[in-house]
Structure 1
Amino acid sequence: MANTPYPQSYYAASANAVTPRPVLQGEVETDVCVIGAGYTGLSSALFLLEHGFRVTVLEAAKVGFGASGRNGGQIVNSYSRDIDVIERSVGPKQAQLLGQMAFEGGKIIRERVAKYQIQCDLKDGGVFAALNSKHMAHLESQKRLWERYGHTQLELLDERRIREVVACENYVGGLLDMSGGHIHPLNLALGEAAAVESLGGTIYEQSAAVRIERGASPVVHTAEGKVRAKFIIVAGNAYLGNLVPELAAKSMPCGTQVITTAPLGDDLANSLLPQDYCVEDCNYLLDYYRLTSDKRLIFGGGVVYGARDPANIEAIIHPKMLKAFPQLKDVKIDYAWTGNFLLTLSRLPQVGRLGDNIYYSQGCSGHGVTYTHLAGKVLAEALRGQAERFDAFADLPHYPFPGGQLLRTPFAAMGAWYYGLRDKLGF
């Protein structure tokens, strides 16, 4: 059978050693079958195992193969649409619950890293960088909003202060969130998978779910086996395909691109980001970057709607990096890759239940590192009969893309062109 390896990314090249996991063959029985060994699936599995459930995880490729092992590695709080948007669209009780949860994902990551001694180069501190006065006004409003929900590890940076944080002449200010930060994302996933197995959970790799047999006792089928379960958690996100058609209709896979430089050396690396914080700008089509533990710069950005792989990733991202850091014009690029995330029309996550026993969470819309860890906890709570926080997400309204699957990509691309123009013109 086909063996799907990791993409040729910096993360795969620098991943912690791990033994390949078996392919599912034959029939197994479990309490919960989790589809997908990314952050959502692994977080769900860990919380369930810690409460006594038997858990089996099916992964189509390898642990962290999708967005969980390819992203920018940044711990960013809240959702792709911030709490103020939620406040305007739902009732006060629902908004209060979702607002309280907006800062929980990063705490869960740190708890997992500490409890299970996960080696993933965790660093504290993330910066939102303002390119103009409008961005700065937004960050001032964001600080007030987040502080209203009890999140106080924030500092506004004026033009002088941001120069002390990042050696980029393009910014007029920023917002520092010390509860943000960055990690080696694939090593975090691998560490969480090892934690799942240490608690008695089973993970099968190269074992894609090809069919779900719904009913009172659902069965997940793979090419060579099947899993009988009491509950199923669907956690495939942008890599789920059409396994659950009703989920595919309300979401769209999108690609983002990442490059990694050759090692910069201590002096040059420390001159770029003296405090080793990660950075993202405030554009709609934003750029993001950070240093690795071996002093490379990881730089990402760009969106390809419909998740096609660009012919030349470096050609898309390298000019963006040089615009931020012209001092890197002679530095070699060692790695370039793309990864998919799942976009929803509202840019808020979709959470829910199909029938009585199939649960799902998807559609992080590019904001998934923290949210997926929260989602695992919320899904596990729901399976344990504590559904208040699950319902707060499940009650968010979601709509299919205009024109259905055929036209969702051109419509989204048109919207991105419009917002990209706004970014360039500064309005």
Structure 2
Amino acid sequence: MTAYPDSYYAATANKTVNYPTLEGEVTADVCVVGGGYSGLSTAIALQEKGYKVALLEAANIGFGASGRNGGQLVNSFSRDIDHIEKHYGVDTANAMGNMAFEGADCIRGLIKKYNIDADYKHGGFFAAFTEKQLKELESKKALWERFGNKKLTMVGKAGVSKIVNTDAYIGGLVDEHCGHIHPLKLALGEAAALVSIGGEVFEQSKVIDIKNITEDGNEKVIVSTEKGHVKANLLVLAGNAYMGNLEPKLARKSMPCGTQIVTTEVLPEALAKSLIPSQYCVEDVNYKLDYYRMTADNRLLFGGGVTYGGGDPASIKRFLKPHMEKIFPAMKDYKIDYAWGGDFLLTVSRLPQLGKIGNNIYYAQGYSGHGVNTSHLAGKILAEAISGEQSRFEVFTSLPHYPFIGGRAMRVPMTMMGAWYYGLRDKLGI
């Protein structure tokens, strides 16, 4: 049995339901592979539309990035709307801009509709170290306001301490439209929601084979695990960084990347409130950024770094603690209780990949670090496409899905070179 990593989330999620392992044959209208946010949000949206859905998860619900991430509901895409306009045209940029803030609303809607306890708190802060970064955030504010986000406020040096108590930043951008959650609680709550409306969930059910068949003149898909299979009209691949080489066409166009998180011991309440008075989540705007927030039980949760190709550094604590102490020197006196890593899926364009293989296989992957919000948007869009509403799905399918230069062998060193360049620019302030 594949168990959760030893994370703060796993220790505090209070998982009380273990879903069965798939055995024998199950029939469904749609089979969804992947028990993270992409799969869960797609499955819920389809089940709500009247489809019979069976969801397969190789480990436990939320085992991958959906149960390990920083818990921040960050708006827009990893490449912002101005970049999309420059490279893909005004029409594509307008269409994607009109969807850029929808993911957070999808999450809040699920939490409210299905009464999910996910430790939700609103508000986030993008922190600037340099005048250049501050000007870039001013441009981001104007850009996002064009597409309907009116909950943005620029903050100068004098206002930073009301948000986060550190001397590290010269200002930043407050976004009241975003927020933060306990990621694994959200995933488990979504699985419970799916079952409550008639969907089926199977854990410890790794898919080992996919094949198409024709039955009574209709094309169907057989999705096999070690002990059983699902026969369905349609298949949705939503395994993201944890799907491996199940579908080689998708693996060639993406790369797993690791990120790491630590969580302190429980802090005195007065200290916890003084460190982040706003209770917002915070992230800086460096290329290789740090991100952090306070948990519901007054621990500082701090993440950052990227390991290209996936995996973790030798010691996550030694890697991240200096970053934490740079922002909050007082943390030198407090120990770290949990340290863990997880993989997200990077694409060459840094834009999500939604598409279709053949007549009956849909997929969503590659959120490139913006997965919490974008995966929920993707699930909604896939469900629309499957039910015949293709327009928003076609916006994403029109984006080119490039393979990494040099293939799988060269994708790590080539990407590391690019990251080194942008990291150097951050350090030099240029």
Shorter-chain TM-score: what band?
over 0.9
Deviations 1:53-72 (A, max 9, x none): 00000000000000000000
Deviations 1:315-336 (A, max 9, x none): 1111110111111111000000
In structure 2, distance between residues paired with 1:217 and 1:121? 40
In structure 1, distance between residues paired with 2:265 and 2:20? 34
Equivalent residue number for residue 125 of structure 2 = 127
Task: Tell me if the contact between 2:262 and 2:303 (Cα under 8 Å) persists in the aligned partners.
Answer: yes
How far apart are residue 421 of structure 1 and its match?
Answer: 1.2
2:356 alignment partner, one of 353, 358, 361: 353
How far apart are residue 163 of structure 1 and its match?
Answer: 1.6
Equivalent residue number for residue 18 of structure 2 = 20
Equivalent residue number for residue 226 of structure 1 = 229
1:269 and 2:272 aligned: yes
In structure 2, distance between residues paired with 1:143 and 1:129? 13
1:402 alignment partner, one of 393, 402, 405: 405
Equivalent residue number for residue 40 of structure 1 = 38
Equivalent residue number for residue 255 of structure 1 = 258
Structure 2 counterpart of 1:21, one-letter code:
Y
Deviations 1:382-406 (A, max 9, x none): 0001010000011111211111001
How high is the TM-score relative to the length of structure 1? 0.99
1:64 alignment partner, one of 62, 65, 74: 62
In structure 2, distance between residues paired with 1:150 and 1:62? 37
In structure 1, distance between residues paired with 2:239 and 2:374? 14
Equivalent residue number for residue 118 of structure 1 = 116
Deviations 1:14-36 (A, max 9, x none): 00332111100111110000000
In structure 2, distance between residues paired with 1:188 and 1:242? 27
1:256-335 matches, within 5 Å, as 256-335=259-338
In structure 2, distance between residues paired with 1:163 and 1:196? 42
Deviations 1:362-400 (A, max 9, x none): 000011000000000000000001010000011111211
In structure 1, distance between residues paired with 2:74 and 2:30? 29
In structure 1, distance between residues paired with 2:342 and 2:271? 28
Task: Tell me if the contact between 2:311 and 2:341 (Cα under 8 Å) persists in the aligned partners.
Answer: no
How far apart are residue 303 of structure 1 and its match?
Answer: 0.4
1:104 alignment partner, one of 102, 116, 123: 102
Please list every run of 5 or more consecutive structure 2 residues that lacks an aligned counterpart in the other structure.
214-218
Could you say what secondary structure the match of 2:338 adopts?
strand
1:412 and 2:415 aligned: yes
How far apart are residue 94 of structure 1 and its match?
Answer: 2.0
In structure 1, distance between residues paired with 2:16 and 2:80? 37
Equivalent residue number for residue 391 of structure 2 = 388
How high is the TM-score relative to the length of structure 2? 0.98
Task: Tell me if the contact between 2:75 and 2:101 (Cα under 8 Å) persists in the aligned partners.
Answer: yes
Equivalent residue number for residue 78 of structure 2 = 80
Identity value in percent: 57
Deviations 1:264-286 (A, max 9, x none): 11111111100100000000000
Structure 2 counterpart of 1:378, one-letter code:
I
Structure 2 counterpart of 1:368, one-letter code:
G
Equivalent residue number for residue 201 of structure 1 = 199
Structure 2 counterpart of 1:206, one-letter code:
Q
Structure 1 counterpart of 2:13, one-letter code:
A
Deviations 1:60-102 (A, max 9, x none): 0000000000000001100000011111122322221111000
Equivalent residue number for residue 216 of structure 2 = none
Equivalent residue number for residue 152 of structure 1 = 150
In structure 2, distance between residues paired with 1:299 and 1:208? 31
Paired residues, number: 425
Equivalent residue number for residue 51 of structure 1 = 49
How far apart are residue 236 of structure 1 and its match?
Answer: 0.3
Higher mean alpha-carbon deviation, 88-97 vs 220-229, is at 88-97
Could you say what secondary structure the match of 1:329 adopts?
helix
Could you say what secondary structure the match of 2:149 adopts?
coil
In structure 2, distance between residues paired with 1:64 and 1:86? 30
Equivalent residue number for residue 8 of structure 2 = 10
- RMSD between aligned alpha carbons? 0.8
Structure 1 counterpart of 2:4, one-letter code:
Y
Could you say what secondary structure the match of 2:333 adopts?
coil
1:333-372 matches, within 5 Å, as 333-372=336-375
Structure 1 counterpart of 2:129, one-letter code:
L
Task: Tell me if the contact between 2:236 and 2:362 (Cα under 8 Å) persists in the aligned partners.
Answer: yes
In structure 2, distance between residues paired with 1:361 and 1:112? 20
Moved over 4 A (4+): none
Task: Tell me if the contact between 2:311 and 2:342 (Cα under 8 Å) persists in the aligned partners.
Answer: no
1:217 and 2:215 aligned: no
Task: Tell me if the contact between 2:34 and 2:58 (Cα under 8 Å) persists in the aligned partners.
Answer: yes
In structure 2, distance between residues paired with 1:162 and 1:310? 32
1:372-383 matches, within 5 Å, as 372-383=375-386
